[in-house]
């Protein structure tokens, strides 16, 4: 069993490279900044105009991005994977999000030093938590057997809707700039994709070694 089907491996590599470029570019552009950039001003103002009246319900929806919620969902995935004899999925559910969150909070935020209302903001930690969780679920969905195309599409759209809502709420409720959330999204997906590629490589080596033995 593999996390990524063969046809998804090359796009996954491309996604990892793109993620590195986007996050690094943003880090260089907004290093030490305490105000919005031009792109942030344009997008944030547009979103405030459209969704400003919905700030209260959007704020309530942000609870899906709370760390305890993210941990609970991933714990369910971990237990289910172990019960089904899928250590690769278990490894993805633990390593991917943990690496993304750790890289955000321990490395990038202190390094970039971008601030929103006196708080370090680049990349968005709430975005990273939610997107890494959804990226893990997306990889599982990609390789799940027995699902119809319609069901895969519906579940994929649901995951995208959750991610988009969290990013929108973080901007409209005044927690992050637009580019903070974009960096968080790319970082999360890139780290989870890299983790999936690495786990698959380890699995292939173990299978090869077992076959030779």
pTM more than 0.85? yes
Residue 55 tokens read as: 């700030």
Residue 62 tokens read as: 């942000």
Q: Could you give the dihedral angle defined by the CA atoms of residues 148, 152, 154 and 157, in that order, rounded to the nearest 10 degrees?
A: -160
Half-sphere exposure of 195 (CA within 13 A, CB side): 25
Q: What is the 3-state secondary structure (H, E, C) of 117-155?
A: CCEECCCCHHHHHHHHHHHHHHHHHHHCCCCCHHHHHHH
pLDDT at 105 over 90: yes
pLDDT at 209 over 80: no
Cβ partners under 8 Å of residue 18, min gap 6: 186, 190
Give tens-digit pLDDT for 80-92.
Answer: 999 999 999 999 9
The predicted pLDDT at position 179 comes to 97
The predicted pLDDT at position 104 comes to 97
Supply the mean pLDDT for the chain.
Answer: 92
pLDDT at 6 over 90: no
Share of the chain above pLDDT 70, in %: 97
Q: In whole angstroms, what is the distance from residue 37 CA to residue 116 CA?
A: 12
Q: In whole angstroms, what is the distance from residue 74 CA to residue 37 CA?
A: 34
The predicted pLDDT at position 212 comes to 62
Mean pLDDT of 131-156: 88
pLDDT-based confidence at 110, cuts 50/70/90? very high
Would you list the DSSP string of 35-52?
S--HHHHHHHHHHHHHHG
pLDDT at 116 over 90: yes
Give tens-digit pLDDT for 51-76.
Answer: 989 899 999 989 989 999 999 999 99
Residue 127 tokens read as: 């975005």
Contact 107, 24 (CB under 8 A): no
The predicted pLDDT at position 207 comes to 63
Give tens-digit pLDDT for 147-199.
Answer: 788 888 899 999 999 999 999 999 999 999 999 999 999 999 999 999 999 99
Contact 127, 170 (CB under 8 A): yes
Q: In whole angstroms, what is the distance from residue 194 CA to residue 58 CA?
A: 31
The predicted pLDDT at position 147 comes to 79
Q: In whole angstroms, what is the distance from residue 188 CA to residue 194 CA?
A: 10
Mean pLDDT of 102-122: 95
Taking residue 133's Cβ as centre, other Cβ atoms within 10 Å add up to: 28
């Amino acid at each position: 069993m593999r996390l990524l089907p063969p046809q998804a491996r090359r796009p996954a590599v491309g996604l990892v490279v793109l993620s590195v470029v986007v996050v690094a570019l943003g880090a260089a552009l907004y290093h030490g900044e305490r105000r919005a950039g031009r792109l942030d001003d344009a997008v944030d103002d547009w979103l405030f105009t459209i969704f400003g009246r919905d700030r209260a319900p959007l704020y309530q929806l942000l609870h899906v991005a709370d760390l305890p919620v993210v941990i609970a969902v991933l714990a369910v995935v971990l237990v289910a994977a172990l019960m089904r004899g899928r250590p690769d999925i278990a490894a993805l559910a633990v390593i991917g999000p943990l690496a993304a969150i750790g890289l955000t909070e321990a490395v990038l935020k202190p390094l970039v030093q971008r601030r929103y209302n006196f708080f370090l903001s680049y990349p968005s930690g709430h975005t990273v938590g939610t997107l890494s969780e959804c990226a893990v679920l997306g990889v599982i969905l990609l390789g799940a057997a027995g699902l119809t195309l319609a069901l895969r599409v519906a579940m994929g759209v649901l995951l995208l809707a959750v991610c988009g809502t969290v990013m929108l709420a973080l901007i409209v409720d005044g927690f992050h700039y637009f580019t903070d959330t974009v960096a968080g999204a790319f970082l999360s997906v890139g780290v989870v994709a890299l983790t999936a590629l690495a786990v698959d490589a380890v699995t292939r080596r173990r299978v090869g070694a077992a076959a030779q033995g």
